[in-house]
Structure formats: structure tokens, C-alpha cells
């Protein structure tokens, strides 16, 4: 009798486990279908964005709470870019999501592999982790910047991504609701970059830097520039030794066209801009920027960018308001530019200020003096240190709209080739 009772209990347990497994598989299948419905990201669906990413160096940071669908999203990105991508998942290193990420042996191995792929120049690197801890994020941002990767921070769009009870049910780590609720606090604060902007693809950056070098070398050797070179020389220096390409010795790690300086959320209007419909719509989307001119002053070398109506949707509205208050007739996006290089000790923000000097003079009817034709364009001389090359054929570059999240670079990134008189 006792033996029969034991057999019945054993059968009940096995049957219960069988139905539980079927239920879990059914729920998992339904969850996958739901996640697929929320995968409308430009980097997965937009052909131009996909093509631009393939010619770039992109560092995807997948961010989300346990059970939110981030691993599915990470795998989808890996599958989209196939052999040109590498996926690193914290799960595979046995790293359990916690409120405060400790320094673990698993992270040492994880980070060693990240740096390895960066050194190899892997086209697309996908980091699948909760990525909620500030110190952890700072490490990833610095690593991406060190190896000249553009960062895309991506979160799942699942309906339950902030529903702690549902997240606990879906997470294979089986965290407590209390732990997930504490982790959730990190996701309620906006993660804002130093600045938003369009970041040029690796291929477009290389092409534009070659044009910069050719322009500076050709302009520097021209007779008309040599006659008006004093603003580029210290007192008593020999103008024959001036090398413009070496004179402009500070160069951005990644060429970009800034839209909004956010200072990680400290700048006025930063949170409103980050939450705007345009930013949410176009984040991670590729654009084709048009360059109409290259320019040089004694402080900066840059490229003037003409923005399309769609691109102007991302231009800060407060800048238009400031122009209106000043009674200037400058059009929206007049400051749009790409910093190619600056002289020693000159900050990159100066390039936009220099461009506005040109624009204001043009608006006042001063087009400068036509000096000659070089580099498939016409050079105009405005005053002692202002030179503009109007391009006969405009340059088009591919760029992704994203943010720069790393530390602001100071003088440490001055090229060793700085020209010394």
C-alpha cells in the first residue's frame, strides 16, 4: 500500500514538471513573438543605416533590466552584421545582475575580451549586460573612445521593460522583486552624453581627412596665402617653414557634426532635447551630410555642413530663438560644421565660432576676395586669417546620429606632429 502511494506521488511530480515545462516553453515562445514586434530600430531595418554601420566602427551597449529582452536584441544585432560583428554577453561569463556591480574575476575576462576585439578593429561590437552601473558604463565609454568607436546605447522596447514583477518572471537569473526595483532606479535617470551629433563612418572620415590634408598642403604652398600668412606665424618666424597640416595639430578622435552640447545633462535644455521626438526618432539612424566648403582661420580648420530639412529637425530650437533675439538674419543650422583640426591650445568649440564669423560676413554682403582655384574649388580671402574654399562639387559623407558619452578630451590628445617654429 505504501509502495503504491509512493509511485502515485512520483507520477504526480513528473506530470507536474512536464506541464510546467510545456507552460514555460509556451510563454517563452509568446515572449519571443512579442519582442520581435518591438524591434523597429534603424540599425536593424533601415538600409542606409545598416550600410553605414558596415563601414564604421560601432560599439553597441545594450542596456536593460534582467528579463527585459536585451539578450534577444543583442543577438539580433549580431545576426544582422554576421561575420563583421562580435557579441559579448555577461551571461556567458556567469556574471549575475546586481544593484552595484562588483569587480569580479568574470569581468576581468569579459573586459579582456572586449579590448581584444577593439584592438583587432572588429567592425561591430555588441555588449550584452544590464549596464546600469555608472562606473561600469564609464569604463565602456572610455574603451570605445580609446579605440575610436562610435557608441550606440540601445534599450529593448518591450512593454514590460520597467515592470519589475513581470521582469522577475521572465529572467532566467530568478532575481527578487526588491533587487530589480533597486536596479530600476538607475534607468529612471536619463543617461545623457557630452553632446549629440552626427558621427562620420570610418570610411567617410578617412576620405575627408585626406581632403583636409590635400587642402591644407595646397593652400599653404600657394603664393597668395604666403603673402598673407602673418597671423599663422609667431613674431620673427620664417614663413617658408610653415606647414599648415602640422600647424593644425589637434584632431578629433572621431569626426562629427555636433547638434547639441549637453554636458551630461548639466547644459541648459539638455534633458528637453534628449527627450524630444526628433532625437527618439532618429537616434542610431544614418544620414548623408553635405559639405559645401572647407575653411581655415589661424585657430581652426573645418568643413561647412549644409543641413537638409530632415536634418534640421535635430537642430536645437533654442539656437533659432537666440538668433531671433539678436536680430540677425542667420538661417537655422548656420553653425553646422565638422572640426577637422585646430591649432595647439585651441578647443574644438572654436571651429563653430569661426564659421559664424564667415557666415556673418557673407550675410553682410562680404564674400571675400577671390584668390584662385585649388582642390576642385575656389579660394576666397576674407581678412587677415580667414580663408574659405567653396567646393565646385560638394562632398557627401555618411554619418550616424548618436552621442559622445566619454570624458571630454583636453590637451592630452594633441598630435605629436605639432609644428614648432
C-alpha to C-alpha distance for 73 and 111, rounded to whole angstroms: 21
Tell me, yes or no, if 112 is annotated catalytic.
no
Point out which residues pair with 383 in neighbouring strands: 386
| From 18, 92, 214, 337, active-site residue | 337
Catalytic option among 92, 214, 256, 396: 256
Closest to 132 measured CA to CA, from 106, 110, 153, 105 = 153
For the chain, 421 residues long, give each residue's pLDDT as a single digit of tens: 434 444 434 433 333 333 333 333 444 445 555 667 679 999 999 999 999 999 999 999 999 999 999 999 999 999 999 999 999 999 999 888 887 765 667 799 999 999 999 999 999 999 999 888 899 999 999 999 999 999 999 999 999 999 999 999 999 888 999 999 999 999 998 999 999 999 999 999 999 999 999 999 999 999 999 888 888 876 556 766 789 999 999 999 999 999 999 999 999 999 999 999 999 999 999 999 999 999 999 999 999 999 999 999 999 988 766 665 665 778 899 999 999 999 999 999 999 999 999 999 999 999 999 999 999 999 999 987 999 999 999 999 999 999 999 997 654 344 434 433 3
| Whole-number Å distance between alpha carbons of 346 and 415 | 13
Three-class SS state of 90: helix
- Domains of the chain: which residue ranges? 42-189, 200-255+286-404
Distance from C-alpha of 67 to C-alpha of 175, rounded to nearest angstrom: 10
d(CA 280, CA 105): 37
Quick one: DSSP state of residue 250?
A: B
User: What is the third-level CATH fold of 200-255+286-404?
Assistant: 2',3'-cyclic nucleotide 3'-phosphodiesterase fold (3.90.1740)
Q: Give me the half-sphere count of Cα atoms (radius 13 Å) on the Cβ side of residue 126.
A: 25
The architecture of the domain spanning 42-189 is 3-Layer(aba) Sandwich (3.40)
Q: How far is residue 142 from each of residues 69, 186, 260, measured CA to CA in Å? A: 26, 20, 21
Query: How many residues belong to the chain?
Result: 421
Distance CA(102)–CA(47), nearest Å, equals 40
Q: Is 229 helix (H, G, I), strand (E, B) or coil?
A: coil
256 catalytic? Reply is yes
DSSP three-state, residue 368:
coil
Contact 390, 215 (CB under 8 A): no
pLDDT score, position 192: 98
> Sign of the CA dihedral 52, 54, 60, 65?
positive
**Residue 252 near residue 199, CB atoms below 8 Å:** no
The pLDDT score that the predictor gives to residue 289 is 99
* pLDDT at residue 418, as a whole number: 43
Beta bridge partners of 85: 124
Q: What sign has the CA pseudo-torsion 244, 246, 252, 253?
A: positive
Amino acid at each position: 500500500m505504501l509502495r503504491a502511494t509512493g509511485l502515485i506521488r512520483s507520477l504526480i511530480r513528473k506530470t507536474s514538471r512536464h506541464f510546467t515545462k510545456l507552460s514555460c516553453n509556451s510563454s517563452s515562445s509568446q515572449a519571443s513573438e512579442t519582442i520581435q514586434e518591438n524591434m523597429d530600430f534603424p540599425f536593424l531595418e533601415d538600409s542606409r543605416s545598416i550600410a553605414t554601420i558596415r563601414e564604421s566602427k560601432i560599439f553597441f551597449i545594450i542596456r536593460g533590466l534582467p528579463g527585459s529582452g536585451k539578450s534577444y536584441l543583442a543577438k539580433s544585432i549580431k545576426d544582422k552584421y554576421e561575420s563583421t560583428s562580435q557579441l559579448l554577453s555577461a551571461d556567458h561569463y556567469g556574471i549575475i545582475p546586481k544593484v552595484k556591480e562588483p569587480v569580479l574575476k568574470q569581468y576581468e575576462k569579459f573586459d579582456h575580451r572586449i579590448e581584444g576585439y577593439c584592438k583587432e578593429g572588429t567592425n561591430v561590437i555588441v555588449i550584452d549586460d544590464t549596464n546600469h552601473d555608472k562606473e561600469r558604463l564609464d569604463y565602456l565609454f572610455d574603451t570605445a573612445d580609446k579605440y575610436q568607436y562610435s557608441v550606440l546605447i540601445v534599450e529593448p522596447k518591450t512593454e514590460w521593460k520597467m515592470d519589475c514583477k513581470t521582469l522577475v518572471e521572465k529572467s532566467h537569473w530568478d532575481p527578487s522583486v526588491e533587487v530589480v526595483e533597486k536596479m530600476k532606479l538607475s534607468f529612471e535617470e536619463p543617461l545623457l552624453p557630452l553632446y549629440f551629433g552626427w558621427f562620420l563612418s570610418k570610411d567617410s572620415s578617412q576620405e575627408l581627412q585626406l581632403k583636409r590634408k590635400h587642402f591644407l598642403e595646397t593652400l599653404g604652398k600657394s603664393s597668395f596665402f604666403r603673402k598673407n600668412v602673418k597671423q599663422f606665424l609667431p613674431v620673427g618666424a620664417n614663413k617658408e617653414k610653415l606647414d599648415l597640416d602640422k600647424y593644425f595639430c589637434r584632431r578629433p578622435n572621431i569626426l562629427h557634426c555636433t547638434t547639441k552640447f549637453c554636458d551630461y545633462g548639466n547644459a541648459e535644455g539638455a534633458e528637453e532635447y534628449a527627450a524630444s521626438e526628433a532625437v527618439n526618432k532618429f537616434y542610431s539612424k544614418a544620414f548623408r551630410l553635405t559639405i559645401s566648403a572647407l575653411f581655415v582661420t589661424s585657430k581652426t580648420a573645418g568643413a561647412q555642413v549644409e543641413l537638409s530639412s530632415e536634418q534640421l529637425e535635430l537642430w536645437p530650437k533654442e539656437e533659432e530663438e537666440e538668433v531671433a533675439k539678436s536680430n540677425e538674419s542667420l538661417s537655422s543650422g548656420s553653425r553646422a560644421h565638422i572640426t577637422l583640426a585646430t591649432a595647439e591650445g585651441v578647443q574644438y568649440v572654436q571651429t563653430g565660432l569661426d564659421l559664424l564669423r564667415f557666415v556673418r560676413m557673407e550675410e553682410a554682403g562680404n564674400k571675400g576676395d577671390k584668390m584662385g582655384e585649388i582642390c576642385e574649388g575656389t579660394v576666397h580671402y576674407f581678412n587677415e586669417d580667414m580663408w574659405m574654399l567653396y567646393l565646385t562639387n560638394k562632398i557627401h559623407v555618411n554619418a550616424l546620429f548618436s552621442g559622445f558619452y566619454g570624458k571630454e578630451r583636453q590637451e592630452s590628445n594633441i598630435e605629436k606632429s605639432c609644428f614648432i617654429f
